[in-house]
Structure 1
Amino acid sequence: MDPGMQGLEPGLEPGLGSQFFSRGTNVLYEESNAPQAAFFAPLKKVMLPPNTFQGKVAFITGGGTGIGKGITTALSSLGAECVIASRKLDVLKGTAEEISSKTGNKVHAVQCDVRDPVAVKNAVAEVIQVAGHPNVVINNAAGNFVSPSERLSANAWKTITDIVLNGTAFVTLEIGKELIKARKGAAFLAITTIYAESGSGFVMPSASAKAGVEAMSKSLAAEWGKYGMRFNVIQPGPIKTKGAFSRLDPTGAFEKMSIERIPCGRLGTVEEIANLAVYFCSDYASWVNGAVIRMDGGEYVSMAGEFNELKKVTKEQWDVMEAMIRKTKGS
């Protein structure tokens, strides 16, 4: 049986409820040695009711692969007419055909390099022409690599910040201006990362750019609510997708280390991020604006706690410590 079909609620159409949404990248959760992982098994079906996005248009940057593809699949399965954009038109077309064949809803492919404001302007005009003004905008396009900061060139810095920060700004501003002229609202969502909040060595351009995206989202949440627009952010923890992990963790060492420090004992799944994304962009979240939600299995707080490393203390060491405490109290 398709694992996505298990636990299907009565009356929920199989096509919209789960089977189109259970094709995510396998994650180490299924192989995890952490016993607690069994308590936190991810659900791989769309949580919102069928047709939640019927009659709505969604625009997703970086929608051809990974998290963007997962969000597009979820939106399309819930009735949205989706437009996905990235630089690689052949990848986009393949993804669009794949998703559309499963959901029965139109998925358009629009080539766009988000670093180029002219390309963004042309892409937005094409979106409006083929599908109409978007009701949902997902800023998911990103770029990243691991490097000691002292080895970064000006071009390396510019490459990442142009995609992540400038690209998000160009897309958001261009669509926002068109929506204001048309007097239409929309839900905007940005995908960042948990280290946008903390900063992180070895990915300094990405951390800086993602932090800027979060500041932009919160700023526009305050300013553009009057135009009917909402802006929210998801900070995913480690999600195993082919593109990201091939670049950031080619040996698999980081994956193992991540699982050891995540209290839930596993990596996240594309489907989980997609479910939160579609909630944020739905009418069920019409009062959620300016929010930044961390979704990481507890990794951030696990790393942040001053004494969290005490989990590595053995029983024998605890016995010694308790004996010393008792002796101190008795003196």
Structure 2
Amino acid sequence: MSNDYLNGLFSLEGQVALVAGASSGIGAEFAQALARAGADVVLCARRVDRIEELAKEIAKETGRKTLALSMDVKDAASVEAAFTDAAEQLGTPTVVCANAGVGHMVPALEETEEQWDHMLDTNLKGMWRVGKTAAKHMISAGLKGSIINTASILGLGVSNQHLSYATSKAGVVQMTRAMALEWQRYGIRVNALCPGFFVTEINEEGLNTERGLQMLKATPARRAGELAELVPPMLMLASPASSFTTGVALPVDGAHSVKLVP
């Protein structure tokens, strides 16, 4: 028997959601979940061929409208074009998951300037481009909405060989708070999810090494998170029911970020 109260509380019926970085991992999981919650979904990634099939599968499963669009978060014109196309074809996105990102592990003394620039331009400036563009379109359309940035627990604390990655994600956390502060008057909420260890294309190789497996065993949960475990907090932040929740950096990490250093 369905629970009408919960279904109504967290329904995204009538909304358009846009996921930047939807080709795999967290972004693909979010796109599917948003459609299941009732939203029409715009999937964005640099390579459209990687999201076209996923968009068709989501539409077939959920009955929602879907759209696959090219977006390179390092290119302001590309971001603007995707939001404009989304608005013209499905409607102005009022739920935006900024999820595009890169990562690598390298000792701080060995990281090159090119690696640093690539990391910060994608993970931080790219997320800034998406958030700013999303807000401008919502404000222009007179709509309230929710922006959810994918940060990391490495934006709250640090570990070895993650200098630029941790710096970029710490920037995302502070950027989220600054956006939330300024855009609350428009009814635009901005929050960040801070995942712990989840296996994605970015970290799969590293987590499957002996060192990676040891890191997982040292966490309180002693395992990586399942992508499905990120969906409920994302939907909570996306839902209009969370209309007074903004500026939050929410860890989803099995208590990893609160574990005391032994």
Indicate the TM-score class for this superposition, using the shorter chain for normalisation: over 0.9
Alpha-carbon deviation of 1:247?
A: 4.1
Query: Equivalent residue for 2:86?
Result: 127
Query: Equivalent residue for 1:290?
Result: 247
What does residue range 179-194 of structure 1 map to in structure 2 within 5 Å?
A: 179-194=138-153
Select 1:61's aligned residue among 10, 14, 20: 20
Select 1:257's aligned residue among 214, 218, 235: 214
**Kept in 2: contact 1:221–1:230 (CA 8 A):** yes
TM-score relative to the length of structure 1: 0.75
Query: Equivalent residue for 1:223?
Result: 182
**Kept in 2: contact 1:232–1:280 (CA 8 A):** yes
The alignment of Structure 1 onto Structure 2 pairs a total of residues equal to: 261
Alpha-carbon deviation of 1:195?
A: 1.1
Query: Equivalent residue for 1:267?
Result: 224
Q: Does 1:112 align with 2:90?
A: no
Alpha-carbon deviation of 1:222?
A: 0.9
Residues 3-34 of structure 1, C-alpha deviations (whole Å, 9 max, x = no match): xxxxxxx2369xxxxxxxxxxxxxxxxxxxxx
**Kept in 2: contact 1:114–1:163 (CA 8 A):** yes
- Closer/same/farther in 2, CA of residues 160 and 247 from structure 1, 3 Å limit: farther
What does residue range 101-180 of structure 1 map to in structure 2 within 5 Å?
A: 101-180=60-139
* DSSP-derived class of the 1:49 partner: helix
Answer with 142-151 or 263-272: which moved more.
263-272
Q: Which amino acid aligns with 1:229?
A: I
Q: Which amino acid aligns with 2:36?
A: S
The unaligned stretches of length 5 or more in structure 2 are none
CA distance in 2: counterparts of 1:12 and 1:227, whole angstroms: 32
The higher radius of gyration belongs to 1
- Closer/same/farther in 2, CA of residues 253 and 101 from structure 1, 3 Å limit: farther
**Kept in 1: contact 2:20–2:100 (CA 8 A):** yes
CA distance in 1: counterparts of 2:77 and 2:2, whole angstroms: 46
- Closer/same/farther in 2, CA of residues 250 and 257 from structure 1, 3 Å limit: closer
Alpha-carbon deviation of 1:206?
A: 1.2
Q: Does 1:199 align with 2:158?
A: yes
CA distance in 2: counterparts of 1:76 and 1:266, whole angstroms: 28
CA distance in 2: counterparts of 1:147 and 1:264, whole angstroms: 25
CA distance in 2: counterparts of 1:261 and 1:105, whole angstroms: 41
CA distance in 1: counterparts of 2:211 and 2:6, whole angstroms: 36
The unaligned stretches of length 5 or more in structure 1 are 1-9, 14-46, 310-331
**Kept in 1: contact 2:149–2:191 (CA 8 A):** yes
Alpha-carbon deviation of 1:251?
A: 2.4
Identical pairs, percent: 27
* DSSP-derived class of the 1:109 partner: strand
**Kept in 2: contact 1:62–1:140 (CA 8 A):** yes
